[in-house]
Amino acid sequence: MTDAAMSLPSNASMSERALDRRDLRTLGLSALGGALEFYDFVVFVFFAIPLSHLFFPPDTAAWLAQLQVFGIFAAGYLARPLGGIVMAHYGDMLGRKKMFTLSVFLMAVPTLGIGLLPVYAQIGMLAPLLLLSLRVVQGIAVGGEVPGAWVFVAEHVPAQRIGFACASLTSGLTVGILIGSLAATAIQRELTPAAVLEYGWRLPFLIGGVFGFFAVWLRRWLSETPVFEAMHARSELASGLPLRQVFERHLPGVLLSMLVTWMLTAAIVVMILMTPSLAQSVFHIAPARAFLGNNVASFALALGCLFYGWLADRIGYARALLFGALGLLACSYALYLDLQAGAAHFIGLYGLAGFAVGVVGVVPALMVAAFPPAVRFSGLSFSYNIAYAFFGGLTPPLIGMLVKRYGALAPAHYVAFTAVIGMAVAFALLRRQRR
Mean pLDDT lowest among 64-73, 280-289, 327-336, 360-369: 64-73
* Angle subtended at Cα 263 by Cα 380 and Cα 362, rounded to the nearest 5 degrees: 60
pTM of the model: 0.82
Is the per-residue pLDDT at 283 higher than 80? yes
Give me the chain's average pLDDT, please.
Answer: 85
Top-confidence residue, 351 or 181: 351
Instruction: Enter the CATH code of domain 21-434.
Output: 1.20.1250.20
Q: Using alpha carbons, list the distances in angstroms from residue 91 to 141, 151, 257, 320.
A: 13, 10, 19, 29
| Confidence grade of residue 9 (pLDDT, cut at 50, 70, 90) | very low
At residue 85, the pLDDT reads: 83
Per-domain boundaries in the chain: 21-434
pLDDT tens digit sequence for 357-369: 999 999 999 999 9
At residue 347, the pLDDT reads: 95
pLDDT tens digit sequence for 291-320: 789 889 989 999 999 999 999 999 999 999
- What amino acid occupies position 391? F
122: Cβ contacts below 8 Å, ≥ 6 apart: none
Top-confidence residue, 156 or 414: 414
Sign of CA dihedral 142, 146, 151, 157: positive
Is the per-residue pLDDT at 345 higher than 70? yes
At residue 226, the pLDDT reads: 67
